[in-house]
Amino acid sequence: MNNMIKISTLLLFLAISVSSISQIQYVDIVPDKILNNTIDTIDINSDGIDDLIFTQESNIPNQDAHGVGVTLLHTNVEFVGNPPPYDPSHFYTYKLDSNILVDANADNKSWVVKLGPNDAVRIMYMFFYNVPYHLGEWINGVTNGYLGIRIKINNKWHYGWIRMDVPIGAQQLTIKDFAYNLEAEQGIYTGQQNNYTHNLILVNYDKSNCENILIYERDSFSHLAYDKIYSLNNNGQYDSIGYVNASSPPYFTHSDSSLVSRQQSYKITAVDSANIEWIKSDSINSLYASINKDVNNNFILNWTAFTNANFSQYIIYRTDTFCEKLVAIDTVPSNIISYNISSSLLDSSCNEFQVGIALSNVVNVPGIGLIDTIKSNIATENFFFQLNPIAGFRSELINNGFINKVQFYDTSRADIQQWYWYFGDGSSSNLRNPQHEFLPGKYTVSLKISNCFGEDSTSIIDYIDIIDGVNNLSVNQKLRLYPNPTTNSVEIIGVYGVVNLKIFSSRGILLMNKRIDANQNIELNNYPKGIYHIIIEQDKLFYSRSIIKQ
């Protein structure tokens, strides 16, 4: 075999352009290297050490033939090949088609090793004019044929490929490009130039179902079997939370009680038909909003920055007068992650805020519908975040002549999704803050609420007491705290007997939890100025109020 191909000591270096995308190192030889009675080398991992020599010789003496071949220069590089049965004394390189997995199994073929310091050229293809057969697989004219390779880096194998053309007759050899996997012991498909990645579009919180919606784009990848979804745990590690089949639309819904109480980050991987998992996509996080106070006791809406998305501004949402829906009230540039809440935006009912990002294009998610805005969780000024619902309500009398109408307000804790009011006269409502007209008499009012974390209900006996006669109306408001604001203490009005009292700081820290007589004032002398959240429980009834200490 040494007589067939003469190896020159002249080394011709390749002119290349290199790009590294994710874990695949790809080298495009520019221009293509054409060997015609010449040789050239390839340094696969750019460490300054040549790994392979390629040759093409024409008119080989005494053979009247043309030949192309490859030589391994050291023991840390190998190629896919095997001895054909007609010549067991030599190894030959296999020609691989595109999209063939190159890994330890090497498409059920063998890895050829360097035999010694004087190892000869391994035949790719030898064309004999005067014999009836050809040596090697690169025959009949090969365009975009692949040689499977692997190189040992830090004592671990990295798999790759080299793409070449060989014409009929083997008069020349064209070397076009090559690539290898930067991740050790992981396979690569012939022709693969970059890693399969996902481009995440958004993480949107769906408060109706208490879940995040991940929507992403897939790159073209013929061997994709399924997408694997990861979320970041409290220890800073990504846990697998589910799969999306390649035949399914590229979106995933993540349900978890922690989603509404903290920011969540995600990554996605592609798993191919050989069960190889490609490197994770860049992480993307959900928005998480909260309300805090600055040194001057001003309320500030803060949120986490939304990553890996192009947008120009955040949108600030606030609940409307009746707490029925969130409406946009302002915008801030995308480099700002806080918003000063003016006192005019805070009242005694529900003060709920949310942060959003408008998408340039509406996304239609199968089974979910149109999504045009990325939205955070809901932040309230009470700093008391409740996942499981706790029912509560208040009301106001609407004095309108002979009409005995009452405006009800839901004061329940948590992000409530459904309401059912029973007014004690056979009437009901599913609105959050309904109005109802009563005839003279006493009525027990009940409210049942629910969200995806559970349900709760409360009833107040004889809550409505309307006396017959014009303008002789009275609404039993039950519990009030007076005075509010206060400088020292507050009086409990409308509740009698023993109650359970809880006091929370503006940040939701429990400061007091004890049973007291409702005739006893709530003393705030030892508390600094600020806003406190008061919860009073009695006979399964729940009252939630905020108090200002001046």
**Domain assignment of residue 2, yes or no:** no
Considering its fold, how many domains does the chain have in total? 4
- Enumerate residues 6+ apart whose C-beta is below 8 A from 432: 322, 323, 324, 410, 416, 419
Tell me the pTM.
Answer: 0.54
End-of-domain residue from the set 452, 475, 498? 475
* Cα–Cα distance list, 270 to 28, 98, 196, 220, 281 (Å): 25, 19, 7, 11, 9
> So what's the pLDDT on residue 392?
81
> So what's the pLDDT on residue 7?
28
- Enumerate residues 6+ apart whose C-beta is below 8 A from 46: 18
**Domain assignment of residue 11, yes or no:** no
**Domain assignment of residue 418, yes or no:** yes
Question: Which residue, among 417, 409, 344, 332, has the nearest Cα to 378 in the 3D structure?
Answer: 417
Could you tell me which residues are beta bridge partners of residue 24? 21, 181
**Domain assignment of residue 105, yes or no:** yes
The reply to whether 72 and 122 lie within a common domain is yes
Q: What one-character DSSP code corresponds to residue 273?
A: T
Question: Which residue, among 355, 305, 312, has the nearest Cα to 330 in the 3D structure?
Answer: 355
Which pair of structure tokens corresponds to residue 367? 């089974």
**Domain assignment of residue 223, yes or no:** yes
| CA 297/CA 184 separation, integer angstroms | 55
| CA 516/CA 500 separation, integer angstroms | 6
Give tens-digit pLDDT for 400-415.
655 678 888 887 777 7
| CA 293/CA 278 separation, integer angstroms | 45
End-of-domain residue from the set 351, 381, 411? 381
Rg (CA), the chain: 37
| CA 202/CA 358 separation, integer angstroms | 11
C-alpha dihedral (262, 267, 271, 276), degrees to nearest 10: -110
> So what's the pLDDT on residue 63?
61
The helix/strand/coil state of 91 is: coil
Q: Which residue has the tokens 């400061």?
A: 511
Q: Are the beta carbons of 185 and 156 closer than 8 angstroms?
A: yes
> So what's the pLDDT on residue 89?
58
C-alpha dihedral (284, 228, 201, 290), degrees to nearest 10: -40
The reply to whether 203 and 309 lie within a common domain is yes
| CA 427/CA 462 separation, integer angstroms | 15
Tens-level pLDDT at each residue, the chain (550 residues): 333 333 222 222 222 323 333 478 889 999 999 999 999 999 999 999 999 999 998 866 666 678 899 999 999 999 998 866 555 556 789 999 988 889 988 877 889 888 777 777 788 888 776 665 677 889 888 999 999 999 999 999 999 999 999 998 888 999 999 999 988 888 888 888 876 667 777 888 887 778 899 988 887 666 788 999 999 988 888 899 999 998 888 899 998 877 777 788 998 888 877 677 776 777 889 998 888 877 777 888 999 998 877 788 999 999 877 667 789 999 999 999 999 988 777 765 567 889 999 888 888 887 778 888 888 888 876 544 566 777 888 777 776 655 678 888 887 777 788 899 999 999 999 998 899 988 878 888 999 998 877 888 888 877 787 765 433 344 445 667 778 788 888 888 777 778 888 888 866 678 888 888 887 888 888 888 888 878 787 765 666 677 888 8
**Residue range(s) defining the domain that contains residue 121:** 16-189
The reply to whether 207 and 184 lie within a common domain is no
- Enumerate residues 6+ apart whose C-beta is below 8 A from 82: 91, 92, 94, 109, 110, 112
The reply to whether 376 and 441 lie within a common domain is no
| CA 305/CA 314 separation, integer angstroms | 10
Q: Are the beta carbons of 197 and 221 closer than 8 angstroms?
A: no
The reply to whether 168 and 125 lie within a common domain is yes
- Determine whether 101 is exposed, middle or buried from the number of CB atoms within 10 Å of its CB (0-12, 13-18, 19+): buried
**Domain assignment of residue 7, yes or no:** no
CB-CB neighbours of 185 under 10 Å: 12
AA letter at 47: D
**Domain assignment of residue 503, yes or no:** yes
> So what's the pLDDT on residue 88?
57
The reply to whether 159 and 29 lie within a common domain is yes
| CA 364/CA 213 separation, integer angstroms | 12
> So what's the pLDDT on residue 478?
60
Q: What one-character DSSP code corresponds to residue 322?
A: T
The reply to whether 96 and 200 lie within a common domain is no
The reply to whether 404 and 512 lie within a common domain is no
CATH number at residue 226: 2.60.40.10
End-of-domain residue from the set 156, 189, 222? 189
How is the chain split among helix, strand and coil, in percent rounded to 5? 0, 55, 45
**Domain assignment of residue 386, yes or no:** no
| CA 445/CA 422 separation, integer angstroms | 6
Strands (E), 393-509: 393-400, 403-410, 418-422, 428-429, 435-437, 441-451, 454-466, 473-475, 480-482, 489-493, 498-504
The reply to whether 377 and 468 lie within a common domain is no
The reply to whether 171 and 242 lie within a common domain is no
The reply to whether 311 and 347 lie within a common domain is yes
The reply to whether 87 and 210 lie within a common domain is no
